[in-house]
């Protein structure tokens, strides 16, 4: 056997006996690090909603989502024939919520950006928020940014209501 071939065989055999364990430790560390990063990164959730019809001047549910402690932004896609609203409001159950910013995007793609800055207690509601061009533009999407208060309080269930 050629001296280079002998050396190569020794390297391969050494890798098999010591490197395999080293590789499995590195693979395990990589998996743990990936899971830690995914857990720490803010998550954005999106819900598709189909609001039901009702009388003008009455509140109806546009959509519901769950605000967790890992996310800071949620969105509700509004679908259906009953998506013309003049006002919206938020109701929160399960945990308090600090509503910071709100963007309502209309059918024509024009976003209506609002600073909400409203602390909503558990079981409470936000103020009524008047929408620009009320009754004339159809809502396609509602995005809101928030932070939840207290890790031990659980998840906040957020329901968005609309008034025609």
For each of the chain's 164 residues, which pLDDT tens digit applies? 555 566 656 655 655 555 555 556 666 666 555 544 444 434 444 555 545 555 667 888 889 998 877 668 899 998 876 567 889 999 999 888 889 999 999 888 889 999 888 899 999 999 999 988 755 678 889 999 988 765 555 688 999 998 88
The answer on 28 and 97 residing in a single domain is no
Do 106 and 49 fall within a single domain? yes
What phi, psi does 22 have (nearest 5°)? -60, -40
Domain that includes residue 92, residue range? 43-163
Provide the domain count of the chain: 2
Q: Could you tell me if 28 and 50 lie in one domain? A: no
pTM to 2 decimal places: 0.64
- Over the Cα atoms of the chain, what is R_g? 26
Question: Rounded to whole angstroms, what are the CA distances from 137 to 7, 86, 105, 131, 141?
Answer: 76, 9, 10, 9, 12
For residues 69 and 71, give the distance between their C-alpha atoms in angstroms, rounded to a whole number. Answer: 6
Query: Do 17 and 61 fall into the same domain?
Result: no
């Amino acid at each position: 056997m050629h001296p280079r071939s002998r050396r190569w065989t020794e390297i391969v055999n050494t890798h098999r006996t010591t490197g395999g364990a080293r590789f499995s430790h590195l693979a395990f560390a990589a998996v743990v690090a990936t899971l830690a990063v995914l857990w720490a990164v803010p998550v954005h959730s999106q819900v598709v909603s189909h609001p039901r019809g009702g009388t003008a001047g009455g509140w109806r549910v546009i959509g519901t989502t769950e605000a967790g402690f890992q996310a800071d932004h949620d969105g509700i896609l509004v679908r259906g024939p009953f998506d013309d609203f003049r006002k919206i409001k938020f109701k929160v159950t399960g945990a308090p919520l600090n509503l910071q910013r709100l963007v309502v995007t209309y059918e024509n793609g024009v976003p209506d950006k609002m600073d909400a800055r409203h602390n909503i207690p558990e079981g409470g509601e936000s103020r009524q928020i008047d929408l620009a061009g009320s009754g004339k533009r159809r809502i396609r999407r509602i995005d809101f940014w928030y932070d939840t208060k207290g890790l031990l309080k659980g998840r906040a269930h957020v329901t968005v209501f609309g008034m025609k």
